[in-house]
Copies of this chain bind each other. A is one copy, B any other.
Amino acid sequence: MAAHRPKLALFEAIASMGKAFASPRRLELLDLLAQGPRTVDELARASEQSTANASQHLLALHAAGIVSRERDGTRVRYSLAGEDVLRLWLALRDVSAARLAEVERAAREYLGDDVEVIGPDELTARLRRRDVVLVDVRPPEEFEAGHIDGARSIPLEELEQRLDQLPADTEVVAYCRGPFCAYAHEAVRQLRAAGRPARRLEGGWPEWQLAHEKTEKTPTAAVGSGSR
């Protein structure tokens, strides 16, 4: 562990954060945490793994400084350590999508046929004109942890039964966790199968949040390019 060259020790320390991003299970947990804080148990269930395993991975993420822990009675609530971590995760995700054909392939496989999208600018304009219905199709806990202003929560599971709650003549825009989340894709397919005009929002809640919350607090040190 002790590197003779001090320079290697520095890169070793940085690599310990890199290692946190090197496991699919941990990335899945990170992706969930990007939606908001969750307890170990919730995260384990949402990512279909044992509690013990999820706990181990969460502790590893904590040791790498990219998530925070907070006791809440008998349970422990984890959350992303800060906005900088969220940006880093999204950057890794986007670069891997742009550079690795395998990511593209796996995404296509998972998401199914692509559906029409609407960009954030157009959505903002049409929301202002009340020309569109914005639907958050994520699980309700995630909606409660934070959502786009003006959206209504209809979890994907309930969409089919609640179709009549949506106006028949207005276009529907669905969004979920992000570009690699299947919920919005599936929602749009269901809506169109029911004969309704629908598109999905490009990006999800985390991307929207980063673009719109101007002055987020920076909890720890300033992330500069060299103030050290």
Q: How far is the CA of A86 from the CA of B99 in the complex (A)?
A: 13
Q: What interface size band does chain A fall in?
A: 35 or more
Q: Convert A60-95 into 0s and 1s, putting 1 for each residue whose CB lies closer than 8 angstroms to a CB of B.
A: 000011100000000000000110110110111111
**Residues 178 to 221 of chain A near chain B (Cβ within 8 Å):** 178-180, 182, 201-204, 207, 220-221
Contact of B5 with A24 in the complex, beta carbons under 8 Å: no
Mostly helix, strand, loop or mixed at chain A's interface? Answer: helix
User: Which of B10, B109, B117 is A6 in contact with, Cβ under 8 Å?
Assistant: B109
- Is A98 part of the contact surface with B, judged by Cβ < 8 Å? yes
| Pairs across A and B, CB under 8 Å, 27 listed | A3-B24, A8-B24, A8-B28, A10-B109, A11-B25, A11-B28, A11-B31, A12-B24, A12-B106, A13-B100, A13-B103, A13-B105, A13-B106, A17-B92, A17-B95, A17-B103, A18-B92, A21-B21, A22-B22, A64-B100, A85-B95, A94-B224, A104-B228, A117-B227, A179-B224, A179-B227, A207-B225
